[in-house]
Amino acid sequence: MDVQCLLDIKGWILLAIALLLTMYMYIKWKFGIWHRLRIPGPDFMPYIGQMKQFREKGLAQLDVELVQKYGRLVGLFFGSTPSLMISDPELIKNIMVKDFSKAPNRFALITRRDELKYSLTDVVDDHWRFIRNTILPTFSSGKMRKMSSLLQVKYKMLLDALNKRAAEGEVIEFKEVYGNYTMDVIASLGFGMEIDSQTNPDNTFVKYAKELFTVKFTPLLILAAMSSKIDAVLNYFKISPLNNRKVMEFYKSAVHQAVGMRDDTDKDRKDMLQLMLNAHKDTDRNEIEETHTYENPEQWKKRGLTVEEITGNSILFLLAGFDTTASTMTFMTYNLATNPECQDRLIEEIDSVLGTELPTYDNIQKLEYLDMVFCETLRLYPPATRINRSNLDEMDINGIKIPKETELTFPVFAIHRDPEFWEEPEKFDPERFTPENKAKRSPYVYLPFGHGPRNCIGQRLAAMEAKCALVYILQHYRFVTCSETEIPLELSKDALMKPANGVKLKLEKKITD
């Protein structure tokens, strides 16, 4: 072998070493951010982050352990994305409310390219302000009252289905039952479609909805999380790590068909679809937002919502209102069955305040103990185990300069189970939510719907949907445990809170005088 050949080989080897060294130094710098900022956190693998632990333990349990071990600020990585976990209530207040303009958007790990890119959770900045202000009146008290008649039809169908099973002494899996109920509600109120999931749980609308909620840490999702470039390549080949394109096409077609069928005779229908079609002309005030006004809100109302925006937000209401509300109702039912003294007190309140009067948006506001049970259930089992924001520019947090576009994540489940904020945090105790006890603690240790301008816009609807149905059932039955009731409950490892194996209980007919 001649000298020139040896020199060429040596040159290539040196180049390879230089490239490897450069790559090593880049990875060390990129993934050394939390070490440089002296923010504690667990060990991780570059480009994988804590995804292995997420899959093994689930977000809820992992977050509890991380806060206990590392404190109120924890440095994490999800794939290649740096994530700062914050569980200090004052910092949460500053980011969500006081300095909202510095971190007004939700953090998106993967860029949405389907219909949901037009939804409230995904739009950003001025587009978000327009969508939020346009849709906001849809969730006013006045609109909730107008939706009550549609809701009554659905909770009566729910009780009819339960009556047959209770008469036979059947063990009932309530997560499934409530899922059918909330699907009927959201299809009617969100899409203007009448389906009967109680008697036909295998219809296409329900089938595809369940597929939408099956988002797991698949290899494809992990690949997309590793780099935005990989996500872009997947998109080029029309591959989505988040959902099935066929499913999204079904709901897109459903909304377009529902919109196309609307004519002058439908304009008085009080569902969310029609309210969104009329939203830009609406002047109803939403009391939730009284303390969070925006400058010149009328400037965002110069046009109506496009079909794409209506489609995206209709699908969002399905995602946000179907499974999360069903799970909350399931956990409420479980808490009442396993705490019969609380159930007795609630039934006594319902009997004395409402009697046999049908529950409505207005009369359930009189049930103070019902609200305490609802709030305590959301504390123990918040629908979202985490919520997040993204800072537009470098942001000072506790004197630490956090780089722009970092995920600022708030471990809701861990905060709700933190003994520093909640005495005996694992115990179900509705008394935590008396006016006196609420006044003793920071509101920023209770985050089931978030806080500030970007809080959950549909919280009033979710509460009405859950409370009315449960009150109607308790006007006729009691929830009781049985040999198949899982105590304590095993929780799912998914990002959305739900019982891993459902909740199995029986119904016991109330004894009336």
Contact between 322 and 176 (Cβ < 8 Å): no
d(CA 105, CA 493): 26
Contact between 412 and 395 (Cβ < 8 Å): no
- The neighbour count for residue 345, using CB atoms within 10 Å, is 16
Contact between 499 and 491 (Cβ < 8 Å): yes
d(CA 198, CA 47): 44
Tell me the two tokens of residue 294: 């925006």
d(CA 179, CA 210): 10
Contact between 496 and 382 (Cβ < 8 Å): no
Contact between 368 and 76 (Cβ < 8 Å): no
Residue the block writes with tokens 């600022």: 408
Radius of gyration in angstroms for the set of CA atoms belonging to the chain, rounded to a whole number: 25
Inter-axis angle of helices 368-380 and 459-474, nearest 10 = 120
* 18 burial via Cβ count (<10 Å: 0-12, 13-18, 19+): exposed
HSE at residue 248, side-chain half, CA atoms within 13 A, is 16
Q: Which residues contact 114 (CB under 8 A, 6 or more apart)?
A: 240, 242, 243, 245, 248
507: left (phi over 0), alpha (psi -120 to 50) or beta: beta
Measure the CA dihedral 196/330/116/216, to 10°.
Answer: -110
Measured in Å, how far apart are the chain's first and last C-alpha atoms?
106
d(CA 505, CA 196): 23
d(CA 492, CA 54): 12
Tell me the two tokens of residue 247: 């499913």
Least Cα distance to 459 among 470, 446, 448 occurs for 448
Q: Is 482 annotated as a binding residue?
A: no
Inter-axis angle of helices 340-353 and 368-380, nearest 10 = 150
Annotated binding site for heme: 456
Mark the binding-site residues, compressed into ranges.
456
